[in-house]
């Protein structure tokens, strides 16, 4: 019999809410059976990344290559050298959910990809290639972030992870935003329209409780705030220091103006250097 350890904060989980993919940090004990001791049927390594899969028609080598390239891109932006990470993929959503229910306390069927700092592992399942790449980008940011002494406010951690799903190297190799999540922005704009600063402050200061109360709204606002920081060229320093006081007046103007949502796309991300432990 397995006796669950006391709850500790582990990392990011992704929630599926309707069509929107949201991620959340979760409380739970370390995964019951260590990922490294589970039986996997395929594996590949590239740099700091080891990809394993169980019974899935997954080519691990290209995923390992993609993940390592993404970590290298983020290292170029943030100056954080990646520690080893395991990406463990189940055959499909139901196999992943069966695992999650058995091994992750408080697992909810809507949760998908998660990052476990305890195991330095991204755990998920096979999905469409584009979705899979977005999820890996998101969770691998949590992996890099978890290796630093700086703890980001939850809205900034998740907002940046959401934003990073749309980051890719441009023609000259610099990281640029290639897509924005307009559903998030519409959700945030509606909340600001209805409640003004109250809606923004609820996310800025609400932490985990605010996230649990309204995950979709929380991720949407966190994302919109991160995109606004990106637009102002301030995202890198915010992520570097964890210290950021969003200008609410400027943010309200930004989130209420659809034309500005995509205006900052393809602007290179200034390189910043972040201290690591």
Which positions touch Zn ion (CB under 5 A)? Answer: 12, 23, 158, 161
Q: Is the Cβ of residue 40 or residue 124 nearer to Zn ion in the bound state?
A: 124
Residues 8/116, Cβ–Cβ less than 8 Å: no
Q: Please report how close the Cβ of residue 13 comes to Zn ion at its closest, in angstroms.
A: 7
Bridge partners of 46, per DSSP, are 49
Q: Please report how close the Cβ of residue 11 comes to Zn ion at its closest, in angstroms.
A: 8
Residue 88 main-chain phi, psi, to 5 deg? -110, 120
Tokens of 275: 């201290």
Q: Is the Cβ of residue 44 or residue 80 nearer to Zn ion in the bound state?
A: 80
C-alpha span between 166 and 159 (Å, rounded): 12
Q: Is the Cβ of residue 135 or residue 252 nearer to Zn ion in the bound state?
A: 135
Residues 244/234, Cβ–Cβ less than 8 Å: yes
C-alpha span between 272 and 277 (Å, rounded): 16
CA 46 centroid distance within chain = 21
Q: Please report how close the Cβ of residue 23 comes to Zn ion at its closest, in angstroms.
A: 3
**161 to 2, 11, 13, 19, 124: CA distances (angstroms):** 33, 12, 11, 18, 16
Q: Is the Cβ of residue 8 or residue 253 nearer to Zn ion in the bound state?
A: 8
Q: Please report how close the Cβ of residue 124 comes to Zn ion at its closest, in angstroms.
A: 12
Q: Please report how close the Cβ of residue 142 comes to Zn ion at its closest, in angstroms.
A: 6
Q: Please report how close the Cβ of residue 159 comes to Zn ion at its closest, in angstroms.
A: 10
Q: What is the bridge-based pairing of β-strands 121-125 and 85-90?
A: parallel
Q: Is the Cβ of residue 157 or residue 231 nearer to Zn ion in the bound state?
A: 157
Q: Is the Cβ of residue 12 or residue 236 nearer to Zn ion in the bound state?
A: 12
Length of the chain: 277
């Amino acid at each position: 019999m397995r006796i669950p350890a006391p709850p500790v904060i582990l990392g990011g989980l992704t929630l599926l809410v309707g069509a929107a993919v949201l991620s959340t940090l979760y409380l739970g004990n370390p995964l019951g059976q260590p990922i490294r001791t589970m039986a996997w049927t395929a594996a590949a390594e590239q740099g700091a990344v080891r990809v394993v899969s169980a019974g899935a028609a997954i080519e691990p080598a290209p995923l390992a290559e993609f993940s390592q390239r993404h970590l290298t891109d983020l290292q170029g932006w943030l100056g954080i050298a990646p520690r080893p990470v395991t990406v463990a993929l189940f055959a499909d959503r139901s196999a992943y959910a069966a695992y999650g229910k058995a091994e992750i306390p408080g697992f909810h069927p809507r949760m998908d990809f998660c990052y476990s700092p305890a195991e330095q592992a991204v755990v998920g399942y096979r999905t469409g290639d584009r979705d899979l790449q977005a999820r890996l980008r998101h969770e691998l940011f949590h992996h890099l972030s978890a290796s630093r002494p700086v703890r980001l406010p939850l809205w900034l951690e998740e907002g940046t992870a959401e934003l990073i799903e749309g980051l890719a190297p441009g023609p000259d190799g610099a990281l640029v935003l290639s897509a924005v999540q307009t559903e998030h922005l519409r959700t945030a704009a509606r909340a600001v329209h209805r409640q003004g600063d109250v809606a923004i402050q609820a996310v800025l200061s609400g932490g985990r409780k605010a996230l649990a109360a309204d995950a979709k709204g929380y991720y949407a606002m966190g994302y919109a705030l991160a995109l606004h920081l990106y637009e102002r060229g301030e995202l890198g320093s915010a992520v570097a220091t964890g210290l950021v006081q969003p200008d609410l007046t400027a943010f309200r103007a930004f989130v209420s103006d659809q034309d500005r949502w995509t205006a900052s796309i393809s602007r290179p991300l200034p390189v910043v250097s972040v201290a690591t432990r």
